[in-house]
Structures are given as structure tokens and as C-alpha cells.
Chains A and B, each alone.
Chain A
Amino acid sequence: MTAPAEAPPAPVPPSEPAPMAVRRPPLRRALIPYWLLLPGVLLLLVFFALPLVYQASTSVQTGSLEEGFTVTWHFRTYADALGEYGPQFLRSVLYAGTATALCLLLGYPLAYLIAFKAGRWRHLLLVLVIAPFFTSFLIRTLAWKTILADSGPVVETLGAIGFLDVTGWLGMTDGNRVLATPLAVVTGLTYNFLPFMILPLYTSLERIDPRLHEAAGDLYARPAVVFRRVTFPLSMPGVVSGTLLTFIPASGDYVNAELLGSTDTKMVGNVIQSQFLRVLDYPTAAALSFLLMAIVLIIVTVYIRRAGTEDLV
């Protein structure tokens, strides 16, 4: 960060008090980052941080829609909410966790393919990963209703190869149906958040110098060993951010559970949505939302500690 050439006769500086004029160039330089940060940070403070404060206050209010809500520090709302909607919390974590694992399993080969083996097809493949985004995800999620339709080819095939027996034993399906079961919800979640796994994986894989693979090969490492000892560790930043970008939105999702599931597959997002928009029980909804946030933050923090990647952003 050397500052060689003197700044040319200054164009309009950001408004500063006149007495500082002598020190203008260095001070102006020192202020640049703050000017750059100001509008964006202000936006986040007012419409991200402040709402959380309002939500915290709402969650300890009591009252009714007609009489209005007042802060009474009624912390029991939290206990009641957790007690009443425990199963939904559990489902959220379970479904989102399963979907994340599946995303990693399915996404890694594709990211690897695009990063190392696609050659001149690389851009086309990347486009094909992103292009589905241009069809609203709700339409695509509704398409799974067709794909997983009862006695459709997909479900028939899964039944024939015994897949549904396995998932039935795991409690993810019931008989010869996939729609309206946990499997359908997990399939939808996996599908919807897969690109969020693939893209960070691709980014970190693409940065790996291919000569490292050659070097490992020259040192007599078999391909599996090269992957385990060189490629995978170097792609860890992508794995970590990919799993976070998948798990976090999946845990709060209510679209897949609503469209592909049944009343027995409702996740906590469904409860928050209906409490806020239909039941209009704001304190309970706010408490549920805070609990979800706390649970996710705890899981994410523990995970980041474990994975040992701290500088994510």
C-alpha cells in the first residue's frame, strides 16, 4: 500500500470541514472506505439488524390483535412454542441435514466434472447448472408433483428395485407412495438447493492448480489417494460454504413441505408462516422464528469450528 504519485489537483472531495484542508489527501484517503461502506451498511442496519430487535420485542409481548400487543416480558411464549412445535423443529433439522448430505454427494461429482474434465464444455455445463434458476423454483417444485406422481414411472421403478422398501424401513415413505411423504420433501429440498452446493464447490475446485494433481501422480499416488489427500482438502472452503448455503435455507424452508408434503411433514417454517400470515399470533411466530435462528446459528457455529474455516466471507 505505497502511495507514490501525488494525487492530481483534487476533484471534488467528499464534504469535509475546511480547517482540515492542509491534510486533505491523506484524510480523504482514510475516509474512502467509510464512504464506500456507508450506504450498504446503513441498508443492512435498518432493514436487517433493526427488524431483529423488533422481532425480539414482539416475541415477549402479549395481547391480541384487537387490543394490540404490549411488551410484558412473557418469556413463557418460548417454552410453549418449543413444547408445542418440537416435532416440527426436529423435522426441519433432519430434513435439511439429509438434503445437505445428499447435495454434497450429488453435487461434488458434477462440480469436479466441470472444474477438471469438461474442457470446452465447461461454460455450457455451468450454464445448465444455473439456467434452471430462470424458471421460478415454485414451478419446478410443482413439476416434482408430476414426476413423483402415484404409480408414475419413477415411483414404479423405485418400487421395483426395492428402493421404496428401504426408504419405508427408514420411515421416509409409506407403502407405494412418494408424494406427501418425507422422501418427497427431502427430494424437493435437495433439488432446490443443489446449485447452492455446486457453485461454491466448483469455485474452490477451479482454483486448484492442476499441476498439483500431476505432481501427486508423479509421486505415485493413485487417483483415489490424490483425491483424498490433495483435491478434497483443497476444496474444503467450497464444501463448507456449500453445506452452509444449503443447510441454512433448507432448515427454514416451507415451500417444499407445503407443496410436496402432507400435514405430517410440516417443518418449522410452515408454522412460522401460518402463525404470522394466517393465525396472526405474532408473539408465538416471533418466538418460533428466534428459536429457529438460534438453533441454526448454534449448528452453524459448531460446524464451522469443526471444519476449521473461519474466514468465510
Chain B
Amino acid sequence: MTPKAAPKAALKAAPKSLTGWFRRHIVAIAGLLTLAYLILPNIVVMVFSFNKPAGKFNYSWREFSTHAWEDPCGVADMCGSLALSLQIALWSTIGATVLGSMIAFALVRYRFRARGAINSLIFLPMAMPEVVMAASLLTLFLNLGAELGFWTVLIAHTMFCLSFVVVAVKARVLSMDPRLEEAARDLYAGPVQTFLRVTLPIAAPGIAAGALLAFALSFDDFIITNFNSGSTVTFPMFVWGSAQRGTPVQINVIGTAMFALAVLIVVAGQLISGRRKKSAPTG
């Protein structure tokens, strides 16, 4: 695709008139504007992490300062809540990814009874506003007399991330060519070997996507946590509370650092894989 596309695009880009250029690139312009809309709040968060607000709230600019970056954990309880959120996200991601992938494989690869019912059971959590799930889980925990805290949050997160993993993995497994596995079997690979050396590597991007999604959903979850955490404070709960009490600049530092870290990891990954495929022409 790339070797041909590059010179063609260069030829196209030669502008005949401004409106012509505009019309040709209207999709790109609209798309990039949407991207700007998506990124703008992150830029604001970043800029305001260098603010020194006058009052308790960090909503309007006063002066440049790096005090928050020098002391990111200087706010009581914030870093503890962050650690807790990461911990919950990690465990619920592992749980949801393993259980979700298993379900996805079962749904795509096997015929069995109650298929429709199981499909709906997986679809419904996504077809329901989060607040409904949150409220009903709370009624369950209240009725059982369960103590709200780490475990109730972990269970809730694993439960609602599960469906998203199933969808992500299922999409990938569905698009897999079954003949690849048949070929492996024809070449005398046993079922375990076929699964480990053919099926799993092909499904890996779907599983990875599901895991990433689960992690992001859990780490960032507020509504279900709000209902079921009791007095346990995850990072989103901390931010929510601070919106009432006063927002410390350190919140922005954490937000910016996580954003930068995520972008960095992926860009680095891309650079490495780009270097491997040196044969591709550099446009």
C-alpha cells in the first residue's frame, strides 16, 4: 500500500486553488478538528499543572509555578488513592481478560445450548446505563450485609469490564481464518499446540485490546465505584471529592503524567516496530 500511495498523495497535494485544496482535504480537516476537541482538555490539564492558583480551585490562570511537579504527593491521601486505583485496575483487568477471552472463544468456536441466553447476559451489562448496574449492585451488597470497600469495587469492576473484553476478543476470533487451525491440525499439531502456537498468537491483538480497554475502564471508573466503594477512596473518587472541597494542582500533575506516559509508551513501541520494518519507504 505505502510504496504506491506516497508519490500519489504528493502529486495530489499540489494545490490548484485554496477552495480546491480545502474540498479535497475536508475529511482530514474535520477529523483533525475532532481530534483537537478530544485533546484540548488534556492540554488545559497540562498547562494548569504549572499554575499557582489564588484560591482552593485551580480553574483560572494566575502564575507559572512548578511547585506541584516538585511535590506531586504533597496532597493528603491522593497518591494512596492512585495506588489503590492502579491495584484495582490491574486485578480486574486480569480477571476480566481471562474470563472474557474464555467466553469469547466458547461463543465463536463451539455450538452449545443456551447460546442466545448467554449472548444476552453478556450484551445486557453494556446495554444498561452504568448507574443502573451501580445501584442494583449496591442493593445486593446492602441486602447481603457485605462491607463496602476494596472487594466490592474489585468485583464490580471485573463484572462490568468482562463484557467489553468478550466483544473485543470475539471480533478478533471471528475474523480469524479457521483454515489456519485446520492446517495446524493437518500438520499433526495437537489441540493444545494448535491453540498455543496458532490460535493464541492470532487472537493476541484482540485480547490485548480487550485488556487495555478493561484497564482504562476500571482505572477511570467513577459511577459504579461511587455507589459501591463505601469509604474507600479510589483516584476518581478523590477527584470527585476535590471538585467540592477544592482542586489541588497535583491532580493535574497526575493527569498529565499518565497521559504523557501512555503516549510515550505507544510512540516508543511504534518507533521500535517501525525500525524493524526498515524496508518500508520513508514518505
Contact = CB atoms under 8 A, between A and B. Distances in A.
Contact of B263 (A48, A127, A244, A245): A127
A47 B31 contact: no
A166 interface: no
Q: Which of B2, B109, B140 has the most CB of A within 10 A?
A: B140
A45 interface: yes
A226 interface: no
Contacts of A41: 103, 118, 121
Contacts of A45: 121
B262 to A, nearest CB: 4
Contacts of A2: 182
Interface stretch (B67-75, B158-166, B196-204): B158-166
Interface string B14-38: 0000000000000110111111011
Contact of A106 (B9, B37, B118): B37
Interface stretch (A74-82, A111-119, A156-164): A111-119
Interface in B171-218: 171, 175, 182, 185-186, 188, 190-192, 212, 216
Contacts of B252: 139
Contacts of A95: none
A136 B38 contact: no
Given A107-B34, A124-B270, A36 B102 contact: yes
A135 B135 contact: no
Contacts of B258: 134-135
B121 A48 contact: yes
Size bracket of the B interface: 35 or more
Contacts, number: 283
A30 B136 CA distance: 35
A33 B266 CA distance: 35
Contact of A51 (B28, B109, B121, B140): B140
A125 B35 contact: yes
A286 B135 contact: yes
Chain A binding surface SS class? helix
Contacts of A119: 2, 5-6, 9, 283
Contacts of A48: 121, 124-125, 133, 159
Given A44-B122, A109-B34, A135-B258, A143 B41 contact: yes
Contacts of A293: 128-129, 132
Contact of B223 (A117, A145, A254, A259): A254
B60 A252 contact: no
Contact of A252 (B109, B121, B130): B130
A19 interface: no
Given A43-B159, A113-B27, A254-B223, A146 B131 contact: no
B172 to A, nearest CB: 10
Contacts of B136: 51-52, 54-55, 286, 289
Interface string A215-255: 00000000000000000000000000000110011011111
The 6 closest A-B pairs by CB, nearest first: A252-B129, A113-B31, A33-B110, A109-B30, A40-B99, A51-B136
Given A43-B155, A138-B222, A313-B166, 12 more contacts: A36-B102, A49-B121, A113-B28, A119-B5, A120-B2, A133-B216, A135-B41, A139-B255, A143-B40, A146-B48, A191-B41, A195-B38
9 contacts: A4-B185, A43-B162, A114-B31, A117-B28, A130-B212, A191-B38, A244-B126, A253-B129, A289-B135
Interface of A: 2, 4-5, 7-8, 11, 32-34, 36-37, 39-41, 43-45, 47-52, 54-55, 58, 106-107, 109-114, 117, 119-120, 123-125, 127-147, 149, 191, 194-195, 198, 203, 207, 244-245, 248-249, 251-255, 259, 269, 272-273, 276-277, 282, 285-286, 289-290, 292-293, 296-297, 300, 312-313
